[in-house]
Chains A and B, each alone.
Chain A
């Protein structure tokens, strides 16, 4: 099986649940809506994707959205373990709330906490949603969003160098 074939299989399996299925570099990207996220995850788990490698959030301030991607793969199924599937959901930036996938994939527990503290995405139904790496006061600032600007002092001029 190759990556495009897997993409085709997922497209057939998910049908209308997925808004978009495309082959990206190194993984199959599945985009779905907030309502259908759990169902798609359940289907993927039934296909054999038994764990999540990463919960990745990307902030797109221009489009006013935060995209949360669950990169899932398999341990128990050796055929599927060669591939990754990225299950993405777009959330509005001002009210990023989504149902947790914890009941389906236990492995997301700490990673969802991470996305919560860095982006302020709220995972409804998560059993223990509190900051993981950051101190609570810093976590409130949602530091990984693009509008949180880090000031870094340049060692040469002493003039702050700004970047997004």
Chain B
């Protein structure tokens, strides 16, 4: 019995569990599932089959794994004209920093399973770190020394100005409601079914749109829109570096979704951990959060089959004129909610 507990505790050792297991593995798994789902649903809408031959029984799921292996084994071409250090570091840094917010989110109500001893400013910290990776893609684009990359980077920077504010404001509405920046307080307050999604749907919608913009999902796939700027910031990348860039967007989408499911979808609610053993107190809550996050990511992926992409100025216009007021209304309503509750 002791052995099992020890192993479970080792796995559930908070920093390891949060960042590597839920963060990295979860993100990898989500990226694969999301890409597979995206391709499969798009194929369904478009009356095709989609990925198939690598594993017909699994609906071609292994195709994605094969793709990943191919990216890893592919030759990495670094053009002579690029600025080598930032060119190589940017995608790696972007990928690593993407996962870092996981170190600040609680996946269990018990203190011994927290990666950091104090959760008081966890929402703010998670948000702060999640804003860094897009800067890396700007650096990568700039270091590529390619006209299309630079245009893509500039577009990325425009889009950042638009969505960042929206995302932060709409998440802070939760802080206003519960007068706390502690994610744990926010999660506990929503338990079991008083989720902010139902209490404050406007803020949720604004945050959802901001995530779409931030991770260049359709209809906001603007910085790397293939038909104008080839690959945007990633034009010159190949092999594993390209995979990091491309997968990075999905990882970020997953991390954002985790934050959103904690703030808006009640975290591990309606489940209430009955005891503080590793299984009940951390593994099951983490699974619930991850599933909620995956569902959010899949909804975002599905939009690809339905929408085209907005023009840059139209996207910015709708962000500033439509979504930002939405986020502000969400914040206002959050304050009102806070007064009521």
Touch A–B, Cβ below 8 Å: no
Interface positions of B (Cβ within 8 A of A): none
Interface positions of A (Cβ within 8 A of B): none
